[in-house]
Amino acid sequence: MANSVSGVAVNEECVKVFQELRAERKHRFVVYKMDDDAQQVVVDKVGALDATFDDLAAAMPADDCRYAVYDLDFVSEDSAGDTPRSKIFFIHWSPESADARNKMLYASSTEGLKKELDGVQIDVQATDASELTLNILKDYTT
């Protein structure tokens, strides 16, 4: 399915691996990128269920854009006591040092990918490592 704004398609594997993360809980994160021809979004890396947020952060290149989804497990304190929960984050990584054309292409393709990834709960945009931390994600859980 092509994104109407950018014309970039979303590869079927992107949705399949996301469903494995969301419904089957097989993965902790998935990193997506544009293919070499900038014609479609493809799976770049998949983090095993025991992967950490630091593993995800390390998978983000310093000079190129990426998308990622991350499944954060946390404990919520409520009237029933401590309740295990999880939230799925969509992360748009667009570092300052990335090529301006790539930044624009990723920005215009974001909504098309998010529409395909049914079940994403929270969007986060990051332009440098200080904006891509586990504490920032945890702030959304309180």
CB 108 within 8 A of CB 3: yes
**Span 103-114, pLDDT tens digits:** 999 999 999 999
Considering the four listed CATH numbers 3.30.110.30, 3.20.20.70, 3.40.20.10, 3.40.190.10, the one that applies to the domain covering 9-140 is 3.40.20.10
Domain edges within the chain = 9-140
3-state per-residue secondary structure call for 38-87: CCEEEEEEEEECCCCHHHHHHHCCCCCCEEEEEEEEEEEEECCEEEEEEE
Interatomic CA distance for residues 9 and 96, integer angstroms: 25
Residue-level pLDDT at 76: 82
What are the structure tokens assigned to 98, written together?
């990335």
* Segment holding 111, helix H or strand E: helix 100-116
CA neighbor of 65 nearest in space, from 88, 39, 41, 29 = 41
What residues in the chain have per-residue pLDDT under 50? 1-4
Rounded to two decimals, what is the model's pTM? 0.91
CB 70 within 8 A of CB 88: yes
